[in-house]
Amino acid sequence: MRIKEIMTPTVISIRSDQSLLEVRELMLNNNLRRIPVTDKEGLLIGIVTDGDVSRATPSDASVLDRYEANYLLGKLKVSDIMTKSVWTVRESDSVETAAYLLYTHKVGALPVVDGTNHIAGIISDTDIFKAFVDIMGYNQTSTKVVIDTNDKVGVIAELSQIFTERGVNIISILSRTLAGDEREVTIRADLTQAMDIVERIRDAGYDIKEVSTLRVEAGHEG
């Protein structure tokens, strides 16, 4: 899945010479947590977050009244508080790339830029969560089968064959390495009419760790 498929293409941006008061109003009126900063040519030069604005705003305990506080916010410029070093991605990058950057750099969103550094969109942690739900098939009724096995070649093929022989389509497969040579394989499929496949997996010599069914209308597994 590519970033272009899940990003928000319409992005509100602000210039570095605009006031902090304008940024705050823009965030409040549009329910935004961060706004990319561009120059006069529309090139990305930074980003400002609600945290930046909050830290620059006088607290409620301040002796300043509302008018004085707004005056100060009107004097401060975006360039005074923005982050100039911004992690970005391209539309053609994978969703995994965006997820890795969000996680490793502890940011909530990444501007999406084109080859000339113009903003093409923005992708947030919420977009990543939604993509994960879609990829894993968590938005449809299905059964999750968690299998403990050895980390050896052919395991995924063998398990897939069991589902194929039973005429069941696999929605998603997730595999991760555990301690030593152990591996955990999680398969999600619609087993509404094929719960016997669990026994087929056991008969094939696999250790089943968990079986749970997600019913979308219920919103949880059980």
Q: Are residues 11 and 81 in the same domain?
A: yes
Q: pLDDT in tens for each of the 222 residues of the chain? A: 899 999 999 999 999 999 888 898 999 999 999 999 999 888 999 999 999 888 877 665 454 555 566 666 667 889 999 999 999 999 999 999 999 999 999 999 999 999 999 999 999 999 999 998 888 888 888 899 999 998 888 999 999 999 999 999 999 999 988 888 889 999 999 898 899 999 999 999 999 999 998 876 655 555
Give the residue numbers spanning the domain of 21.
Answer: 3-132
Q: Are residues 123 and 158 in the same domain?
A: no
Among 132, 160, 190, which residue terminates a domain? Answer: 132
Report which DSSP code applies to 58: P
Among 132, 165, 195, which residue terminates a domain? Answer: 132
Q: Are residues 117 and 148 in the same domain?
A: no
Report which of 134, 136, 173, 146 is spatially closest to residue 157, judged by C-alpha positions: 173
Contact yes or no for 130/61 (Cβ under 8 A): no
Q: Are residues 122 and 173 in the same domain?
A: no
The structural domain count of the chain equals 2
Q: Are residues 82 and 48 in the same domain?
A: yes
Whole-prediction pTM: 0.75
User: What was the pLDDT predicted at 48?
Assistant: 95
User: What was the pLDDT predicted at 62?
Assistant: 52
User: What was the pLDDT predicted at 118?
Assistant: 95
Q: Are residues 45 and 102 in the same domain?
A: yes
Contact yes or no for 5/93 (Cβ under 8 A): no
Distances (CA, A) of 43 to 13, 86, 120, 190, 220: 10, 12, 11, 47, 44
Q: Are residues 13 and 88 in the same domain?
A: yes
Q: Are residues 165 and 74 in the same domain?
A: no
User: What was the pLDDT predicted at 86?
Assistant: 94
Beta-bridge mates of residue 89: 112
Phi, psi of 116 (to 5 degrees): -105, 10
User: Widest CA span of the chain, in angstroms?
Assistant: 75
Three-class DSSP category at 216: coil
User: What was the pLDDT predicted at 70?
Assistant: 62
CATH of the domain at 180: 3.30.70.260
Among 132, 165, 187, which residue terminates a domain? Answer: 132
Residue type, 159: L
